[in-house]
Amino acid sequence: MKKKRRKRNKWKWVLFGIPISIIMLGIGIVAYFGMDLTKQSVMLARSATTEHKPDLPPKKFKQAWPELPAPGESLGDLTFPSLDLSVPVVQGTHEEELKKGAGHFAGSALPGQGGHVLLSGHRDTVFTKLQYLKKGDQVTFSTKYGDFVYEATDFEIVPADDMTVNVAKDYETLTLTTCYPFDFIGDAPDRYIVYTKLVSMPEMDG
């Protein structure tokens, strides 16, 4: 009788221990994924704070670029004081335009229109020195309307097919893109992105 009772007690503890183990395992899984989701939320929150809106009040000038410039037409010059670099800027980003300098993405805003100005240039020509630009360095876009001064705020490397950089914004800002890595031979797999915020702009009647 004692042996039977011992066996019964043993099975009771086994049967009792199984659900307890399952519950503890479930708690561990929930805690693990909960921490993972928390990390993701923190990362998303941090990435959201990388967008730098201008300290200046928003402006939009109706008379700025009333007509869309023709492909290849000069828009002005892009100057990087810290890099001792000046780059001509033209309308369009096809190969013929990019041979002339940095190209302005058709569909993105032009300086003075109060939106997202997006420029692209080849890594092995006009934008070779872009890799040496640092946070806080200034970039001046000199146009027929005056000088628009921006400050580098962030840098990012994205896949070549990532088009999230080409988005509309309701405030004046400038983004620069080029192929990456800079020393890559052939079609580069990534893009190097420079984000800026507006520092100053010419006084114009709107």
pLDDT of residue 76: 98
| 24 confidence band (pLDDT: 50, 70, 90) | low
For residues 111 and 64, what is the distance between their CA atoms, to the nearest angstrom?
8
pLDDT of residue 29: 41
pLDDT of residue 172: 93
Catalytic, 104? Answer no
pLDDT of residue 67: 87
CA distances from 173 to 28, 31, 56, 106, 205 (A): 46, 41, 11, 16, 19
Q: Give the E-state strand segments of the chain in sequence order.
A: 74-80, 85-91, 102-104, 116-120, 138-143, 146-159, 173-180, 190-200
Task: Specify the pTM.
Answer: 0.71
Give domain limits for the chain: 1-49, 74-200
pLDDT of residue 113: 92
Point out the catalytic residue in the list 52, 94, 116, 122.
122
Give residue for tokens 């201008």: 54
Least confident of 24-38, 101-115, 153-167: 24-38
Which phi and psi angles does 12 have, rounded to 5°? Answer: -60, -45
Catalytic, 122? Answer yes
pLDDT of residue 47: 35
Per-residue pLDDT tens digits for 26-73: 544 434 333 333 333 333 333 333 444 545 445 555 568 888 899 999
CB 145 within 8 A of CB 203: no
Q: What CATH number belongs to 74-200? A: 2.40.260.10
